[in-house]
């Protein structure tokens, strides 16, 4: 790539910045904008609008990004890249979640949590001393970012595969400590990359609650997926059938095995689990059904309740065989979203009991926003070729 001449007149630039309300912040904003352009040009191997056979990708406009600095808040226009995504090297990836944790400290103080507990929580976050005014300044605008992410439009993207699961944490509500669920929906888009589509608090896991969630996703532009993966919660499965007619539902094989093994004596669990696993490792659905039949005939008298459970749920646990192009290991269970939820639980364990529902949802969302950004620039979870074949064959 040819070296670009720098025609910037630094004296004029300095005079322009001096004329701004905050000269140092204006200079920093100018520097960040030029650093991003230089970094994207290096990543793509071509300047903006340059015709170059050796370029490795193309631009796709800009996206606004708020960046809080010690000098103040800037609103940057971050270049978008079609393939691989782009995150500026100078953006602190964990800044939002740190602000959310500090806001939990503030909210806990307002809710009357004891000073001793407050000091313990603050120190666990690496905070020796902090004032309420400092917290307010650091968390300014965080709520708006969270709400924008949770309610962003989904139209223009295709999500052929969805995973659905729930997080539970202790939250103070009306003077009581209750276990509250936050439902998380992940999807894989047409390029094979994962994304976070929904983070919704639920007072109870019921069919109506799930239907309301799925309706909100459709109102935001979500098209009917080809496959939805979850456990066998009755309200959830009923909502999936009614909200996404024409979609296939995959019963998570891991949850299904746990349900079956609950009816097997402890001393026999491991050996019987090894037998069950062979059903879902079969290369074809025909062989899977054959192995299941053999298991049923062999163990129906020994473990009658377990075999009855297997017979009732078997067909739903084999739905993934209808999508042979996709990686069976990734679509036959909800392990992907469960691993994500475990990581979220690990990171928020420092809080213990959340002071209210809003702080719980806000902190979970800020962490998930960071994962969504990481996924946008990481390797595809499912190959682009397998997604294209699936969309063609199941259209």
| Domains identified in the chain, total number | 3
Q: Are residues 237 and 319 in the same domain?
A: no
Residue in 240, 224, 229, 241 with CA at minimum distance from that of residue 328: 229
What does the alpha-carbon distance between residue 393 and residue 395 come to, in Å, rounded to a whole number? Answer: 6
- Among 58, 81, 104, residue at a domain's last position: 81
Q: Please give the full DSSP string across 20-57, using - where no structure is assigned.
A: SSSHHHHHHHHHHHHHHHHHHHHHHTS-TT---TT---
Identify the pLDDT of residue 354.
84
Q: Which domain holds residue 127?
A: 92-249+341-382
Identify the pLDDT of residue 379.
87
Whether the CB-CB separation of 101 and 125 falls below 8 Å is answered with yes
Is the residue at 6 inside a domain? no
Q: Are residues 373 and 360 in the same domain?
A: yes
pTM > 0.75: no
Q: Are residues 97 and 239 in the same domain?
A: yes
Is the residue at 391 inside a domain? no
Q: Are residues 157 and 277 in the same domain?
A: no
DSSP 226: S
What does the alpha-carbon distance between residue 216 and residue 247 come to, in Å, rounded to a whole number? Answer: 17
pLDDT under 50: residue ranges of the chain: 1-3, 5-6, 109-110, 112, 395
Q: Are residues 257 and 354 in the same domain?
A: no
Q: Are residues 309 and 354 in the same domain?
A: no
Helix (H) / strand (E) element for 272: namely helix 269-280
DSSP 225: P
Whether the CB-CB separation of 255 and 191 falls below 8 Å is answered with no
For the segment 38-90, what is each residue's pLDDT rounded down to a tens digit?
Answer: 888 888 888 877 777 778 788 878 877 777 665 667 778 888 887 767 778 77
Is the residue at 279 inside a domain? yes
Largest CA distance in the chain: 89
Q: Which two tokens stand for residue 3?
A: 């070296």
Instruction: Work out whether the CA dihedral 376, 381, 385, 387 comes out positive or negative.
Output: negative
Q: Are residues 147 and 270 in the same domain?
A: no
Inter-residue long-range contacts of 293-301, CB under 8 Å, 24+ positions, other chains counted: 299/272, 299/275
Q: Are residues 35 and 155 in the same domain?
A: no
Identify the pLDDT of residue 67.
73
Is the residue at 3 inside a domain? no
Q: Are residues 235 and 345 in the same domain?
A: yes
Q: Are residues 68 and 128 in the same domain?
A: no
Q: Are residues 106 and 30 in the same domain?
A: no
Q: Domain of 157: which CATH number?
A: 3.30.420.10
Identify the pLDDT of residue 301.
94
Q: Are residues 273 and 313 in the same domain?
A: yes
Identify the pLDDT of residue 143.
77
């Amino acid at each position: 790539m040819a070296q670009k001449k720098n025609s910037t007149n630094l004296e004029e630039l300095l005079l322009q910045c001096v004329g701004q309300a905050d000269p140092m912040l204006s200079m920093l904003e100018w520097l960040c904008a030029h650093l991003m352009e230089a970094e994207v040009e290096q990543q793509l191997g071509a300047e903006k609008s340059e015709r170059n056979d050796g370029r490795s990708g193309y631009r796709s406009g800009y996206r606004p990004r708020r960046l809080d600095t010690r000098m103040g808040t800037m609103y940057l226009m971050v270049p978008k890249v079609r393939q691989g995504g782009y995150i500026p090297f100078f953006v602190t990836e964990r800044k939002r979640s740190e602000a959310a944790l500090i806001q939990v400290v503030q909210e806990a103080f307002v809710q009357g949590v004891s000073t001793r507990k407050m000091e313990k929580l603050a120190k666990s976050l690496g905070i020796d001393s902090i004032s309420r005014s400092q917290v307010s300044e650091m968390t300014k605008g965080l709520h708006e970012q969270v709400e924008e992410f949770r309610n962003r439009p989904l139209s223009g993207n295709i999500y052929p595969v969805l995973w659905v699961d729930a997080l539970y944490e202790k939250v103070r509500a009306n003077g009581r400590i209750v276990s509250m669920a936050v439902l998380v929906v992940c999807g894989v888009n047409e390029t094979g990359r994962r994304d976070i589509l929904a983070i919704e608090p639920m007072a109870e896991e019921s069919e109506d609650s799930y239907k309301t969630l799925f309706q909100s996703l459709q109102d935001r532009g979500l098209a009917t997926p080809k496959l939805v993966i979850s456990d066998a919660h009755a309200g959830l499965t009923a909502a999936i059938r009614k909200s996404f007619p024409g979609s296939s539902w995959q019963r998570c094989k891991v949850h299904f095995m746990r349900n079956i093994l609950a009816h097997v004596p402890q001393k026999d669990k491991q050996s019987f689990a090894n037998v069950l696993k062979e059903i879902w490792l079969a290369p074809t659905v025909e062989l899977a059904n054959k192995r299941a039949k053999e298991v049923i005939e062999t163990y129906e008298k020994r473990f009658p309740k377990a075999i009855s459970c297997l017979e009732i749920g078997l067909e739903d646990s084999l739905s993934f065989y209808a999508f042979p192009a996709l990686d069976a290991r990734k679509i036959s269970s909800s392990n992907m979203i469960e691993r994500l939820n475990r990581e979220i639980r690990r990171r928020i364990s420092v809080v213990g009991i959340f002071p209210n529902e809003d702080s719980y949802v806000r902190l979970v969302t800020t962490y998930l926003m960071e994962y969504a950004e990481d996924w946008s620039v990481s390797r595809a979870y499912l190959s682009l070729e397998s997604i294209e074949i699936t969309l063609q064959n199941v259209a």
